[in-house]
Chains A and B, each alone.
Chain A
């Protein structure tokens, strides 16, 4: 179970900025239980965005946004609506947001903070994608996580130790910040990097007891 919490709507609207046409993508997996994904969250977000004057080009619900194949198949049916959109607002955990950024060449924005992985690393079978920092930065970094992709989890840019695009700690590993730089360049959002990101609040990593309660299943109660 991945615990997620909605980002404040003000933060979501700020991250969308001047983008008018927004594609809404929700997850029916863990995020549905946490009420950050799922039908209910999706329609609530649609109403919020329309109230703020945005045009929601389309909505789409995928069972597990952490499954790359599933996301690719489902989104290919809505290619036209995606193309008309300025960006995709993704209602799920950090792993889901990164899946979407990997398969679609569009700006992605996370609508939630991932708080705890609670025992399951999602369905992404390869690299570690999300450390559940509770303060999702994927919006700022073009959908590539600086906490997991940078060996030092730096938030304000590369340390300068990468050689030929590889990390100073492991020369088989790509420098996360180089990937972020290239991605932001590709989606035309390099100016994101100019913003100073303040130090992490590590207390955000703890899920509230209310959130834990919400996700208990029969076996646990």
Chain B
């Protein structure tokens, strides 16, 4: 089912991120999603997240589909030129995938194969336009596709914490022009700043899902503050997590995430949970947040 259907029904939409394994034993990952059946509306399957070689998004999406879990296939511009990308879009349609999230992708230098050639033949805006073109029955070179064209719901990403923010919003508008129908954001920890961002993008009239990343430790928060663009975990949250003994940390972390979700709920149209290996805790957090 297309994610846009949920937004149209005025539902507060919940998606979760799934990172395929580096190896072929994938059952454990899919089993861990079982408790989320009926709770999460769809699952983003990452496309070689952080430029680390692993099982692909397309195959994993199909495995989720086989279990009646709705996948969102992430598609990045890092590894494939326009031939590869357009072909994978067609393959996705053939395998029954209905939601695509198009993004630029991290540079290979950040991953486990820094020797790899960065492709970036297209950027995220051009990728969205290419998929939109395919949905209208034509490839990027203007050639007609045979038969019925595929239908997709297209998503994109935005970083509300980017500084400066204006170029991000200009690009967001271009993504909408190119075909994006919903947005997922980078992790949000500062509710006021996010509220301000939502005010600025209100005229764009597009559903926005706030990103939630579970804070596993004060060290992780500090690491993200120092290294990840657009993420700022305020000191109060780091102190709150650091103040409890180690064995209570998971509980505290989940409590912080649930509180954030409650605060963000009225500001946006959904949340996107990036649990980074803590898939087993998502159901608890949703319950604590009253969702």
Contact = CB atoms under 8 A, between A and B. Distances in A.
A162 B162 CA distance: 8
Contact of A156 (B174, B229, B230): B174
Contacts of B168: 157-158, 160
Contacts of B126: 155-156, 197-199
A156 B157 contact: no
A153 interface: yes
A154 interface: yes
Interface string B119-141: 01111111001100000000010
A203 B118 CA distance: 19
Contacts of B124: 156, 159
B227 interface: yes
A34 B183 CA distance: 47
A164 B230 CA distance: 9
B110, B162, B227 interface centre (most CB from chain A within 10 Å): B162
A149 interface: no
A169 B170 contact: no
A219 interface: no
A157 B107 contact: no
Contact of A159 (B104, B130, B178): B104
A158 B230 CA distance: 13
B167 A158 contact: yes
A135 interface: no
A154 B230 CA distance: 19
Given A160-B168, A161-B229, A198-B126, A152 B174 contact: no
A200 B170 CA distance: 20
A158 B162 contact: yes
B82 interface: yes
B164 interface: yes
A135 to B, nearest CB: 14
Contact of A151 (B82, B118, B170, B177): B118
13 contacts: A151-B109, A156-B124, A157-B168, A157-B174, A163-B227, A164-B163, A168-B110, A178-B164, A178-B167, A181-B167, A198-B126, A199-B126, A202-B121
In the complex, the 6 A-B pairs of residues with the closest C-beta atoms, listed nearest first: A157-B171, A160-B159, A156-B125, A152-B120, A154-B123, A163-B229
Interface of B: 77, 82, 104, 106-107, 109-110, 118, 120-126, 129-130, 140, 157-159, 162-164, 166-168, 170-171, 173-174, 177-178, 186, 227-230
